[in-house]
Structure 1
Amino acid sequence: MSQIAPHRASNRSSRRKKKASAEAATSAAPAASVIAPILEVESLDMEARGVGRTVNEDGTPGKVIFVEGALPGERVTYLSYRRKPSFEQAEVVDVLRESVIRTKPQCQFFGTCGGCSMQHLDVRAQIAVKQRVLEDNLSHLAKLRPETVYRPIHGPSWGYRYRARLTVRHVAKKGGVLVGFHERKSSFIADMTSCEVLPPHVSAMLVPLRRLVEGLSIRERMPQIELAVGSTVTALVLRILEPINAADEQLLREFADAHNVQFWLQPQGPDSVAPFYPLDARLDYTLPEYNIRMPFKPTDFTQVNHQINRVLVGRALRLLAPSRGDRVLDLFCGIGNFTLPLARISKEVVGIEGSEVLTTRALANAAENGVAEHTSFACRNLFEVTADDMRALGHFDKFLIDPPREGALAVSKALAEIAQSGDGPLPKRIVYVSCNPSTLARDAGLLVHEAGYRLKGAGVVNMFPHTSHVESIALFERD
């Protein structure tokens, strides 16, 4: 019998279990229900919770139980913290029979910290779960099955997180400042001194950061630190609600020199972010296969996982397969992550982005990388784009679409309308990079069932190992 200690580590978890025990003791259920019941776990849901069913006294299937920390094939005891007529949400108490895909979490704070939910699951099994989530969404929401399931894109599963938002809080009961992620499903900050998914030099910086903030005059007026790691420098953006004084400035300079970081200050909204020290450091990431160096500000959107991003860009361009004579439209182009590599191998690439700041950055990046003559950029609200807007853009041979979690509903509807009216050009090939399988499935349904495309292939991209986040890539073609 294996006891799952990490799930007892958080104060929130203990409070929730006490509440669950009280509910059980006062409910009308039989007295035996106060004792942690046993469950056979059958599968995992999209949040990496074990799923099983109780059995009624007459042998018929009972409630669905979602158990955090349980894996398929396991026999566990659990304690419910939320009860509904048809399901319960619970936490595992003991594992009576372990799954072969269970592994020991590498992080000592797993189970307390809310940053990861799947460290107890073998990495290969994590990828398989995400692939199933992708295929289930396409099947159930869009009634689609890809003609080809692509090999998963994966890479290092530790030290990969080059972007993060760390919460800062002065907690007298803890004897000082906490810097880190929230506890699972809680507003409390995990008392963490390291993080296995952050780059090692950043993980090693957490304790010194706590000491730094403790020494600042504004330690109770600094709610968060934004982290962005570049090729040669790490940027830390301090969200400050009051100005820093001369002593604070000196402490920041000394810390920056000692840890090779660049401090930025954000006194108000995102537009107020400005470098503090050192002023000459520059953030960037590279796409070596295409000889691209991409400067960015720490508040710009960039992919969390630089290694996976390089592989993803290569996969996307190979699937799109542009020729020297092709015009390509890159929708939700950001700072040019796909646009600039495409410009190396296409006649012309037009990037459209909803943020003026990112559009300006993309223009500058195109000039810096010598591809300005093959690119142009425009700022448009792609969540409200119409068929007429798409027609006005002219003919493009191929599209690349990389939307946020909301997906590309308006774009997909516009293409469907053009296809049904027959009065406008449509690209023969679309590569769609998704960070939300449900919105990908929704848009895929429109592209296939209404716009006449075929779903040639789809596969997962393990951008966020040890989390339930599912990134994916799909290819659509039209005759």
Structure 2
Amino acid sequence: MKDSTSRKEARQEPHDEEWLRVESLDLDAQGVAHKDNGMVVFIEGALPFEEVQLKVHRRKNNWEQGTVTAIRKESSQRVRPGCPHFGLHPGACGGCKMQHLDAAAQVAVKQRVLEDNLWHLGKVRPQNMLRPLEGPAWHYRYRARLSVRHVVKKGTVLIGFHERKSRYLADMQVCPVLPARVSAMLMPLRALIGSMDARDTCPQIELACGDAEDGSGLGAIALVLRHLEPLSAADVARLKAFSATHEGVQWWLQPKGPETVHLLEPGGLVLAYRLPEFGIIMPFKPTDFTQVNAHINRALVGRALRLLDVQPQDRVIDWFCGLGNFTLPLATRAREVLGIEGSETLVVRAMENLERNRPAVPGRGALAPTRFVARNLFEISPAMLVADGAADRWLVDPPREGAFALAKALADLQQQDELPRNGWTPPRRIVYVSCNPSTLARDAGLLVHQAGYRCTFAGVVNMFPHTAHVESIAVFDRA
């Protein structure tokens, strides 16, 4: 259903003359309708409650997929897209999927996706739905991986995202989801790469933006240039000249794997983000994992800690802790914090950030005793949970794969009396931050039906406006 269709195949498919009423949106932001014979139809560009015709691209025994060609009854929530490169036309950018839907309606769709996943996959109904966590709908994307291609036939360099369902790059001149200064830099970047000797051997620029030192907005703009061949002295000079004429830009070079990334010119602005509610500053490298949406991340950390309701006497474990995005704020509230992460590199970076923030600053005291350990969190066992010691509260923030092994180990400890506990007790409350509603639902099912928890709160976090990506947060309390 989700595979690409070549342009040639798409042109050969006939138009479907039947008018269909769209019932809902799926996880890929496609309209879902049914034909009179019961066949499911997935329609790109269609919105719920619209009556549409489509051009079919793929047919299977029990479903079809196509693109809207005509709308007889339009949704009241359809809006004009904010980006000139968005749409269903040839060459349209594939970076966003929902710009034609009102921003508030996008959030409502994501909330429904979360509720449906929790019930259909985990048989869990939250006792309370949280108000969606929202932020700016534009210029929010502080991280991006931009492809680069020198197109000889067109005599130009393209930089940006791929076309919708295509291996070709979109001819992007602006991108309203990137910070305004970065969007305005796209055409100068294209000219820069086009002027370089290495224009055919630079396939990617990774973007990472930091906060200004006073917290007032955008600070350092790190551009990581992947280059397959050594750069000439002339090209290095071109890169330095570009950063000298564009405020905040610092070039990082990546000749091979991520471990080879290094700063071209030492000095300049420090790449960091801030969590002002907790008096925390988080320096990071452009290859470190940080959240795409800095505005939402600040709000998310605040909400997560309020929901966790950490008390001064509590010991807390932060699972999948990364750089310490939640760990260090937790250390401003708890008696003791343990951060556990799968990547040894991130553990080293988290320890550096701990030392950076350990002293007291105006508005907060010194951080509580905190340590970090590296461990494979996809192979965790009940014995490992016991070895880490009891904690009053858990913060869980896994990647898309979820935290199945962790939830399973907790459930096994609750169900199997023969397992040694050595005084270990389960956490009273768990706050689970998720970037995949299906794996959250799976893990919620384990926590509720086998580990003895109730799902007391859940809600969406609109980390990626105009996309179908669903981020969420859920709270589990001991029954």
The verdict on a shared fold, with TM-score over 0.5 as the criterion, is yes
**Quick check: 446-455 or 417-426, which moved more?**
417-426
Post-superposition Cα deviations, 1:161-213, rounded to whole Å, max 9, x if no partner, equal 00000000111222211000011121110001000100000000000000000
Cα distance in 2 for residues equivalent to 1:95 and 1:259: 45
CA distance 1:430–1:257, shift in 2 (3 Å): same
Give the CA deviation at 1:412.
Answer: 0.4
Q: How does 1:13-412 map to 2 (within 5 A)?
A: 15-21=8-14, 36-56=17-37, 62-111=38-87, 112-231=92-211, 232-260=219-247, 261-370=249-358, 374-412=369-407
CA distance 1:100–1:16, shift in 2 (3 Å): farther
- Asked whether the equivalents of residues 37 and 79 of structure 1 are also in contact (C-alpha less than 8 Å), the reply is no
- Asked whether the equivalents of residues 332 and 368 of structure 2 are also in contact (C-alpha less than 8 Å), the reply is no
TM-score, structure 1 normalization: 0.92
Cα distance in 2 for residues equivalent to 1:174 and 1:436: 39
Give the CA deviation at 1:379.
Answer: 0.6
Give the number of aligned pairs.
452
Give the CA deviation at 1:13.
Answer: 7.7
Partner of 1:7: none
Give the CA deviation at 1:394.
Answer: 0.7
Give the CA deviation at 1:36.
Answer: 3.9
Cα distance in 2 for residues equivalent to 1:109 and 1:81: 22
Partner of 2:472: 472
Give the CA deviation at 1:425.
Answer: 1.8
- Kindly provide the amino acid, as one letter, of the partner of residue 29 in structure 2: A
Cα distance in 1 for residues equivalent to 2:16 and 2:100: 25
Give secondary structure in 2 for the equivalent of 1:340: helix
Give the CA deviation at 1:16.
Answer: 4.5
TM-score, structure 2 normalization: 0.92
- Kindly provide the amino acid, as one letter, of the partner of residue 217 in structure 1: D
Q: Does 1:458 align with 2:458?
A: yes
- Asked whether the equivalents of residues 49 and 67 of structure 1 are also in contact (C-alpha less than 8 Å), the reply is yes
- Asked whether the equivalents of residues 337 and 368 of structure 2 are also in contact (C-alpha less than 8 Å), the reply is no
- Asked whether the equivalents of residues 363 and 372 of structure 1 are also in contact (C-alpha less than 8 Å), the reply is no
Cα distance in 2 for residues equivalent to 1:242 and 1:171: 19
- Asked whether the equivalents of residues 94 and 164 of structure 2 are also in contact (C-alpha less than 8 Å), the reply is yes
Cα distance in 1 for residues equivalent to 2:227 and 2:456: 49
Cα distance in 2 for residues equivalent to 1:35 and 1:154: 38
Give the CA deviation at 1:17.
Answer: 2.6
Cα distance in 2 for residues equivalent to 1:397 and 1:412: 16
**Quick check: 284-293 or 173-182, which moved more?**
173-182
Cα distance in 2 for residues equivalent to 1:475 and 1:113: 37
Give the CA deviation at 1:373.
Answer: 5.3
Cα distance in 1 for residues equivalent to 2:310 and 2:291: 23
Give secondary structure in 1 for the equivalent of 2:332: helix
Post-superposition Cα deviations, 1:37-87, rounded to whole Å, max 9, x if no partner, equal 32111111111111111113xxxxx31110000001111110010100100
Post-superposition Cα deviations, 1:421-443, rounded to whole Å, max 9, x if no partner, equal 25442101000000000000000
Cα RMSD (Å): 1.4
- Kindly provide the amino acid, as one letter, of the partner of residue 28 in structure 2: E
Cα distance in 1 for residues equivalent to 2:471 and 2:143: 16
Cα distance in 1 for residues equivalent to 2:457 and 2:6: 42
Q: Percent identity?
A: 58
Give secondary structure in 1 for the equivalent of 2:430: strand
Give secondary structure in 2 for the equivalent of 1:65: strand
- Kindly provide the amino acid, as one letter, of the partner of residue 33 in structure 2: G
Partner of 2:443: 443
- Kindly provide the amino acid, as one letter, of the partner of residue 301 in structure 2: V
Cα distance in 1 for residues equivalent to 2:189 and 2:154: 15
Partner of 1:28: none
Moved over 4 A (4+): 11-14
Give the CA deviation at 1:407.
Answer: 0.2
Cα distance in 1 for residues equivalent to 2:6 and 2:463: 28
CA distance 1:425–1:284, shift in 2 (3 Å): same
Cα distance in 2 for residues equivalent to 1:65 and 1:12: 16
Cα distance in 1 for residues equivalent to 2:154 and 2:304: 47
Partner of 2:215: none
Post-superposition Cα deviations, 1:242-278, rounded to whole Å, max 9, x if no partner, equal 0101100110001001112000001111111100025
CA distance 1:372–1:241, shift in 2 (3 Å): farther
Give the CA deviation at 1:14.
Answer: 5.0
Partner of 1:434: 434
- Asked whether the equivalents of residues 29 and 468 of structure 2 are also in contact (C-alpha less than 8 Å), the reply is yes
Post-superposition Cα deviations, 1:372-400, rounded to whole Å, max 9, x if no partner, equal 65210001010111111111001111000
Cα distance in 2 for residues equivalent to 1:463 and 1:16: 35
- Asked whether the equivalents of residues 262 and 278 of structure 1 are also in contact (C-alpha less than 8 Å), the reply is no
Cα distance in 2 for residues equivalent to 1:196 and 1:350: 39
Unaligned runs of 5+ in 2: 212-218, 359-365
- Kindly provide the amino acid, as one letter, of the partner of residue 415 in structure 1: L
- Asked whether the equivalents of residues 116 and 467 of structure 1 are also in contact (C-alpha less than 8 Å), the reply is yes
Match of 1:421 among 416, 420, 425: 416
